[in-house]
A and B are shown apart, each in its own frame.
Chain A
Amino acid sequence: MNWSSWLLWGFLATIVLTTISAGAQGLGLTRMNFPYVLGSMLTPGRDRAKLYGFWMHLAAGLVFSLVYVWIFQSLGEAGWWRGSVIGICHGIVVLVVIMSLLPGLHPRMASEQHGPEAHNLLEPPGFLALHYGVQTPVAILLSHAVFGAILGAFYRLV
């Protein structure tokens, strides 16, 4: 395990993922602001939630990149396409599993069953996060594929 290589490329890959997500939002590909999803778990204020969420997203990126690195170490090799495949799998898990669990996990998110209440006002993502725009799955898969590709291409096993 090459800790310094993980820290450097895990950090940079997360920054690129965040940038692609924000770019996709700016270009109208998706409405989803994932840092806001994360930050609004801690605070209701929109601006502060986005700031907190940015740091949470960065930390989560580093944690997830550890899993990528663990897989590279287990396989004995990295490479951009291996990273991309892991990234797409990661994206699918986010879309199919995490998004469907989110209304139950997020303290401020409404659910389809109960509707919005006084403290649960955030729109739930729906299947494949389609409530956040029909191209949201594309944006998520693309950004995670790039995340994985960067880690795979630049991470050094030793």
Chain B
Amino acid sequence: MVPKIQDYAVIGDCRAAALVSRYGSLDWLCWPRFDSVAIFSALLDPDKGGHWSLAPTSPCRFERRYIQNTNVLETSFLCDSGQAVLTDLMPVASGQFKRSAMMADHELVRSLVCTEREIEIQIEFRPRAAYGEGPIQLRDHGKLGLRFESGGGVYWLRCNRPLHVESDRVRDTIILKRGETLDFSLSYSEESPAVLPALGERVRAAIDRSVEWWQQWTARSNYQGPYREMVTRSALALKLLAYAPSGAITAAATTSLPERIGDSLNWDYRYCWLRDASLTIRALLGLGYMDEAESFLTWLLHATRLTQPELRVMYDVFGGMAPRERELDFLAGYFGSRPVRTGNGARHQLQLDIYGEVIEATAQYANFQGCLDRATQKVLIGLGKHVARHWDSPDEGIWEPRGGRENHTHSRLMCWTGLDRLLALCDKGILDGAPREQFLKERERIHGQIETHAWNEKVQSYVSTLDGEGVDATLLRIPWYGFEAADSERMKLTYRRICEQLGTRDGLLYRYARKPAEGAFGICGFWAVEFLALGGGTLREAHRLFARLLSYGNDVGLFSEEIDPATGDALGNFPQAFTHVGLISAALTLEEKERGEPHPAEETGADTKAVGREARV
């Protein structure tokens, strides 16, 4: 059975990630980083891509779950002959443990335990080099395990039972009786000597240690609202996608899962987009993850250092430029969706919204801390000056169309937000030496332009591009950033038009009108929830919509980028950090409004007059 996107769950160790299907097949793994070359990529081509399946030979029912508050996955095989539980994880441990014991640089553990009667399990371990472009050569080193090299690193597969090895794969069938286990450890190292993980009790210890590590991390969340389970799962997904050595957060764990089945809208999302910055900081700070927020912000400011005051759209996990886009013609693509791409061609685009994102993210952090160091202040002032000089230029905008530049309302909004936050930081005495008058003047000019040219009298709505007619879901962000109140007449009319033009029956939203339509965009629905909660509707409406949107997560609570409104199937790269930060932000806004607390924009913004202002219609 070929799994769909929602049939996958993710495991990871804050450095790399793997996708495991509900049928026990590991179909995606890139080591040592999220954006490294994959050795299992059956996700994108079941024949050529390579996979590692552990599955019962007889028909059975599959159930799965994450062990509570962890990224440790358990899949149950419920067959007539017996039952077994498969535990999949990439072991994690505290720094203290790593200093006192040897751990493999990168390890993936699969442990199968027969829990009832007996069960026959078919094993197929078939890695492929370079996304499936070539075979690998497996070598049996006896008690050390099986070894193969690919991409400059060495892989070791160890198992607690003898296996039938062919030159490029392991294929075997094993009968497990109640209480018996089948343990695997796959490790990778780019440095020798590699650490070869022991099996037996050590596997149990690694699982226990990882469960404890994730649970301790989850316990640090201070979210107390009614959506704790889904918020926690989103936070865990976000943490898993964070690259621990640098603090970067990758947009998704995969490349080329399509936005439209069978089409060419297939992109590589294993890089870090600045457009996610403010929502990511909002999610981390809102949940109380100060260390992660600081880490992410440090990465943000460090990664952009070489290009400041100009910013790139995306970076790799160490702040390098995302690689050039390349098409992997030998892969069939997910359900025939070709081409499969690595690298990203949008890396050279101009997106002016990201300046506001970075400034807003830093401002949120500064408001928590109450201060900013001198170097960060200098960076912010540089970004502000750049915005003041360039805000009136056309750009590609947040949705990265490849058809050229336009004057996007959302980009103007974010330029306004950037200058507004800098002025607020000046007023609070956090930012010294900024050209306040210049920022004030340019902010007002942007404000005037949005009010005049982004509002279309004919269609009675804010519009996506200046003097245009179309709408897109980013217009729902206008109140979020404090530009205009959600309960203003203009915003209510805009919301109505967005629902008419972009809404589906079940509360989902397309990001913009497109023919033929791609999937509804996951985060846009959550933006609508926040819009309603901020005064565009009632809190009850917001809760109702939120609950409906949550039902589109898969059975383990993960979201991809988009959702097919007709079938409810997940579309696009998976799991998607942007959707999960949207979920967390919406849950936090609902909670804040229930408690009567102010929204972050009310605290970080300078133009407080704008909030609550009735727009002229």
Contact = CB atoms under 8 A, between A and B. Distances in A.
Interface of A: 25, 28, 30-33, 36-37, 40, 44-48, 108-110, 112-118, 121-125, 131-133, 136
A117 B102 contact: no
Nearest to B105: A46
What 3 A-B pairs are tightest by C-beta distance, nearest first? A115-B143, A132-B192, A31-B192
Contacts of A116: 144, 158, 196-198
9 contacts: A31-B190, A31-B192, A44-B99, A45-B99, A115-B142, A116-B158, A123-B195, A131-B193, A132-B192
B332 to A, nearest CB: 31
B145 interface: yes
Contacts of B144: 110, 112, 115-116, 123-124
Interface in B153-210: 153-154, 156, 158, 189-198, 202
B98 A124 contact: no
Contacts of A132: 192-193
Contact of A122 (B149, B152, B153, B193): B193
A110 B141 CA distance: 12
A32 B193 CA distance: 6
Interface string B126-154: 00000000000000011111010100111
Interface string B96-130: 00111110000000000000000000000000000
B561 to A, nearest CB: 34
Contacts of A47: 99
Contact of B191 (A33, A112, A136): A33
Contacts, number: 88
A44 B100 CA distance: 6
Given A44-B101, A45-B99, A108-B102, A131 B192 contact: yes
B184 to A, nearest CB: 14
Given A45-B98, A118-B202, A131-B147, A112 B142 contact: yes
Contact of B192 (A44, A48, A110, A133): A133
B246 to A, nearest CB: 17
Contacts of A108: 102
A110 B154 CA distance: 16
A122 B154 CA distance: 13
B202 A125 contact: no
A123 B196 contact: yes
Residue from the set A28, A30, A46, A125 with the largest chain B CB neighbour count within 10 Å: A46
Contacts of B198: 116-118, 121
Given A31-B154, A112-B143, A125 B192 contact: yes
Nearest to A118: B198
Residue from the set B141, B156, B190, B191 with the largest chain A CB neighbour count within 10 Å: B191
Contact of A123 (B99, B101, B156): B156
A122 B195 contact: yes
A44 B93 CA distance: 14
A31 B155 CA distance: 12
Contacts of A48: 99
A115 B153 CA distance: 20
Contacts of A115: 142-145, 196
A27 to B, nearest CB: 10
B194 A36 contact: no
Contacts of B189: 31, 123
Contact of A124 (B149, B154, B193, B195): B193
A125 B192 CA distance: 8
B143 A109 contact: no
Residue from the set B191, B192, B193 with the largest chain A CB neighbour count within 10 Å: B193
Contact of A131 (B98, B142, B154, B190): B154
B101 A114 contact: no
Contacts of B100: 44-45
Contacts of B194: 31, 122-123
A118 B197 CA distance: 8
B352 to A, nearest CB: 38
Given A33-B191, A115-B145, A121 B98 contact: no
Residue from the set A30, A113, A116, A132 with the largest chain B CB neighbour count within 10 Å: A116
A48 B95 CA distance: 12
A36 B193 CA distance: 8
A122 B102 contact: yes
Contacts of A112: 141-144
Residue from the set B149, B191, B192 with the largest chain A CB neighbour count within 10 Å: B192
Nearest to B194: A123
Contacts of A133: 149, 154, 192
Contacts of B191: 25, 31, 33, 36
A132 B142 CA distance: 17
Contacts of A121: 102, 195-198
Contacts of B158: 116
Contacts of B156: 123
Contacts of A44: 99-102
A45 B191 CA distance: 14
Given A115-B143, A121-B102, A32 B192 contact: yes
Contact of B193 (A113, A118, A123): A123
Nearest to B153: A31
